[in-house]
Amino acid sequence: MRVLVLGGDGYLGWPTALHLSARGHQVGIVDNFARRGYDHELGAGTLVPIFSMKERLATWRRISGHHIEAHIGDLTDAPFVDGVVERFAPEAVVHFAEQRSAPYSMIDRNHCVYTQVNNVVGTLNLLYALAEHAPDCHLVKLGTMGEYGTPNIDIEEGFIEITHRGRTDLLPYPMQPGSFYHLSKVHDSHNIRFACRIWGTRATDLHQGIVYGVQTDETTLDPQLATRFDYDAVFGTVLNRFIVEAVIGQPLSVYGSGGQTRGLLDIRDTLACVELAVLNPAEPGEYRVFNQFTESFSVLQLAEHVARLSPKKTTIDHIPDPRVEKEEHYYRAAHTKLLDLGLKPHLLSDTLIESLFHVVEKYQERVDLSAIPPTVNWRSQHSSLPTVSSAE
């Protein structure tokens, strides 16, 4: 199939592009390198070194014999998006290309506005381009489990049947997101569902949990094919951060009591889920939601898991939560639709955590200690930008 991967220079987009290319799909990447720009802005950097797009693509061609074409540009630039969609004529578009950090969106007004404009306008431009130039193309959009928040009832896959005053309907599940970033995903979901209704667009909204790991069948073929590994307090996600903290001998930074429970998945399962969605497209006009995670853990459970497997003696710190979120809550979320399509999950095993320890130990000289403490506070409208020195 002809598949465009938007955000194909990012943590998940790059390995997804390789995975689809390795399976014989004709892959094009779109990216504006915004993510590399945030590194410069924050003075932070990926722990695992990454190479330029030119070097990545040349190495992939040499190793696999497959060509991936790159289109460098910004999704908020409507003529650019129209042009790429018209020329590439995709059968599927996998859309990862958004600002994806909750803390980044909560730094101050500018970062909030940037995040919502970038994400919502980019997706709107894409919806218009698909409707005009590729109406049969299937949109596979990366959303987030955080769109649901943490309600005191079971979370369903996108929709919930509600009986109200004797009448029943299947309605979008109520959304209670926890950051301006997570809110941008809710806005996207509404816009995509509406486009499906009015224009007959086909769409799958993947409500993905927190991804961990960096190693896939393709990224491990050559150091130049590696994907990024973020551990700083703005872009680093919780499990990746705990492993880095354990390796450098710091206490694990549990925010508050640590009862915050989230769905997680291995990066290899992200690739498998996206591939399953691409190979099993939504019908014309259908808007469907798959909850994309394989297991749920509380933050404290993750910390205890990492501390138990750490080669060094590792302690757990409970630091005041810089976010406004429930620290203890009910959490049970459905996630059967991808399993029904054939997903075989890689569950969080001791071996996987040990392999992450090996990756981090290899690059521990690159860890910037000043990047680790949280600097963005949800209660403030003016968090100061983290001042960390570059790990590059």
40 beta partners: none
325: partner contacted, choices ligand USQ, ligand NAD, none (Cβ within 5-8 A by kind): ligand USQ
Active site residue 314: no
Q: Is 127 in the site for ligand NAD (CB under 6 A)?
A: no
- Backbone torsion region of residue 336, taken as left when φ is above 0, otherwise alpha when ψ lies between -120 and 50, otherwise beta: alpha
Cβ atoms of 27 and 56 closer than 8 Å: no
CB of 149 to ligand USQ, least distance (A): 9
Select from 20, 22, 126, 142 the one that contacts ligand NAD (CB under 6 A): 142
Q: Is 18 in the site for ligand NAD (CB under 6 A)?
A: no
In degrees and rounded to multiples of 5, residue 17 shows phi and psi of -60, -45
Q: Which is nearer to ligand USQ, 76 or 291 (CB)?
A: 291
Q: Is 239 in the site for ligand NAD (CB under 6 A)?
A: no
Q: Which is nearer to ligand NAD, 184 or 375 (CB)?
A: 184
Residues in the chain: 392
The Cα-based distances of 169 to 149, 163, 165, 176, 202 in angstroms read 22, 7, 11, 20, 22
Q: Is 147 in the site for ligand NAD (CB under 6 A)?
A: no
76: partner contacted, choices ligand USQ, ligand NAD, none (Cβ within 5-8 A by kind): ligand NAD
Instruction: Find tokens 């630091």 and name the residue.
Output: 319
The Cα-based distances of 47 to 120, 327, 350, 369 in angstroms read 29, 29, 22, 12
Q: In what order do the strands lie in the sheet with 295-298?
A: 210-212, 261-266, 295-298
25 Cβ contact list (under 8 Å, min separation 6): 1, 2, 3, 278
Residues contributing to the site for ligand USQ (CB under 6 A): 100-102, 144-146, 182, 209-210, 237-238, 241, 253-255, 260, 262-263, 299, 323, 325
Which window, 24-32, 83-91, 157-165, 311-319, contacts ligand NAD (CB under 6 A)? 24-32
Token pair of 315, please? 């302690």
Q: Which is nearer to ligand USQ, 237 or 270 (CB)?
A: 237
Q: Which is nearer to ligand NAD, 137 or 211 (CB)?
A: 211
d(CA 308, CA 150): 28
d(CA 62, CA 162): 55
Which window, 97-105, 148-156, 157-165, 341-349, contacts ligand NAD (CB under 6 A)? 97-105
Q: Is 44 in the site for ligand NAD (CB under 6 A)?
A: no
Stretch 52-91: interaction string toward ligand NAD, x if CB under 6 A: ----------------------xxx---------------
Residue positions annotated with a catalytic role: 144, 181, 185
Instruction: Tell me which residues touch ligand NAD (CB under 6 A).
Output: 7, 9-13, 30-35, 74-76, 96-100, 118, 122, 142, 144, 208, 210-211, 237
